[in-house]
Amino acid sequence: MEKAQLEDLGWKPRRKSSSVRAAKWSLLCPLPALVILIAFVLTLGDRGIIHGRILQFYIVLALSFLISSAGIVLGLKALRGNQTGGGRGIRTRAILGMLFNLCVALPVVIATVATIRGVAEMAAVRELAAEQEAARFRAHLRPGENLEKVLIAYADKAFVERSMELLKQYRAASGFLTNAAGLDLGLVHSVEELQRREALVQEYLEAGGKLQQFVREGHLLYEEELEQHKISATARAVCLREFDRRANKNREEVIKLRQAELDFGKAELAALRWLENHWGKWDYVPATKNLRFHPEKLQKEFEPVGANARKAALELVREENRLRLRETLP
């Protein structure tokens, strides 16, 4: 019989009970909770939870906890509804869903408590170190010398040293890509050489990412140094205003340059990986300084990869020139 005829006779299609839906959603809740956590951890890389990330970490933990808690509540609802007669398998799905959500919620709670304790302990250590440093400087002050000015000078020195160390790491890692031999495919005679170059580009990207983050979070990091050296709120505000005045002059251009460097590194890495995956199907022609593919149809496949690398290289040069021009302006 047709569905319409059955409905005329009073038959109605059976709908899933609320218990069935609750059990289903209880099983699904751990997935978004885990995805949020994993995605956030992946964005951290090896940088850890630093300035500006702790609050984000707490928000991510709270979201994951709320989602997994909702999954537990839905599992309980499904079990309660099943007592009055639910679909088959509701009890199993509800119990599994609750267990899975509990496996997410408990580590989230533990991570939250551990993070709060860790942050408090770090703050206490910094506080003690700052007090000891202030006492040491106070004992060696010359007549008429201002302690806070001395502490500001040391905070400035610590901040500059951090930036110089990152810049040193970046320059060491970028030497490969700024060297003509590093980009010469005519010197590549094995897959191992390609893989070595990929590893060097990866180091370049990691160093560039750290430097980019330092530039973006410079204000917060400098403020952290001032706080660690026990600078008063009034003096701290003056220092930060002066820092922003100096940093903001070329900040936009520097950030664009750092991003262009990362884009260039990513494009080069993509090209190297493509060549590795197609090893034996291309060779370098010194006369034309181009690649020759076997079969030739691979050239069309490589063209967008190579074009992206060339475009990224040109954009990097363009941003370098813009920064040089900006630095010459008053």
Overall domain count for the chain: 2
The answer to whether 126 touches 228, Cβ cutoff 8 Å, is: yes
The answer to whether 50 touches 220, Cβ cutoff 8 Å, is: no
Confidence band, pLDDT 50/70/90 cuts, at residue 11: very low
Q: Is residue 265 part of a domain?
A: yes
Average pLDDT of every residue of the chain: 81
Q: What are the structure tokens assigned to 225, written together?
A: 């140094």
Low-confidence winner among 21-25, 43-47, 322-326 (lowest mean pLDDT): 43-47
Q: Give the containing element (helix H, strand E) for 293.
A: strand 290-293
CA distance linking residue 264 with residue 311, whole number of Å: 8
Q: What are the structure tokens assigned to 202, written together?
A: 């990866």
Among 138, 173, 202, give the residue marking a domain's end: 138
Q: Is residue 6 part of a domain?
A: no
Among 80, 112, 138, give the residue marking a domain's end: 138
Arithmetic mean of pLDDT, 77-85 = 71
Would you say residue 280 has pLDDT above 70?
Answer: yes
Of 50-54, 116-120, 126-130, 180-184, where does the model show the most confidence? 116-120
Q: How many angstroms from the chain centroid is the CA of residue 253?
A: 21
Q: Is residue 1 part of a domain?
A: no
Higher pLDDT, 8 or 319: 319
Per the structure, the complete domain to which residue 200 belongs is given by 148-328
Instruction: Examine the domain organization and report whether 73 and 153 are in the same domain.
Output: no
Name 291's bridge partners.
Answer: 284
Instruction: Examine the domain organization and report whether 195 and 238 are in the same domain.
Output: yes
DSSP character at residue 145: -
If we measure between CA atoms, which residue out of 61, 56, 69 comes closest to residue 113? Answer: 61
Arithmetic mean of pLDDT, 227-238 = 86
Instruction: Examine the domain organization and report whether 47 and 192 are in the same domain.
Output: no
Instruction: Examine the domain organization and report whether 267 and 130 are in the same domain.
Output: no
pLDDT (0 to 100) of residue 14: 46
Arithmetic mean of pLDDT, 237-257 = 87
Confidence band, pLDDT 50/70/90 cuts, at residue 180: low
Confidence band, pLDDT 50/70/90 cuts, at residue 19: confident
Q: What percent of the chain has pLDDT over 70?
A: 82
